[in-house]
Amino acid sequence: MQNLTDEEIIELYFCRDQQALAATQQKYGKLCSSIAYGILGSREDAEECLNDSLMKLWESIPPNRPNRFAAFLSVIVRNLACNRRAAQHAEKRGSGVICTALSEIENTLAHPDTPEQSIDTIALSDALNRFLGTLPKETRVIFVLRYWGNLSIKEIAEKCGISQSKTKMTLLRTRNALRKQLEKEELL
């Protein structure tokens, strides 16, 4: 199968053509597996999450017509992976790195539970990308390692060659600046 554009893939979904699933997996399978594996830490769980994500995507398009297909799909994968991880570690809820990291930022960024809410998340994602582009490189790296890479404070400090207290303070200040920016753009 040739590489299709995102618009062509979305059109296949609207036509209810099952080739949409194969085209999505061909074009974005590695990205989705990488996101799921980063959260779940298991190739088998990541593969199941990818399959669940494709099913959720099939149910979501139509009626949704995402402007940024990759972002739309990434949100679905991330949410399903986080939900799967939470279910797997229910007895340890709140003690894991991912739970901790997400709880730190949950008051700043909304977590969409449905594909409809994911559309709003795309606007939020654009605002987040603009915000990250304004940050100094070190601050941006720390923020991304924590909230996208799901690294612990200690791991980030070691990777960046800084103290844990500087890492914590940088994250706090960055979250506060992000909140102000999102409020300014009326996204919160």
Domains of the chain in sequence order: 1-88 (1.10.1740.10), 92-188 (1.10.10.10)
> What is the rounded distance in angstroms from the CA atom of residue 35 to the CA atom of residue 18?
24
Measure Cα distances from 84 to 12, 185, 188 in Å. Answer: 28, 32, 27
> What is the rounded distance in angstroms from the CA atom of residue 71 to the CA atom of residue 82?
16
Let me know: does 111 contact 105? Beta carbons within 8 Å.
no
pLDDT at 39 over 60: yes
pLDDT at 187 over 80: no
SS3 string, 127-140, reads: HHHHHHHHCCHHHH
pLDDT at 88 over 90: no
Q: Whole-structure pTM over 0.85, yes or no?
A: no
**133 falls in which pLDDT band (50, 70, 90)?**
confident
DSSP class of residue 65? -
Mean of the pLDDT values across residues 9-37?
Answer: 91
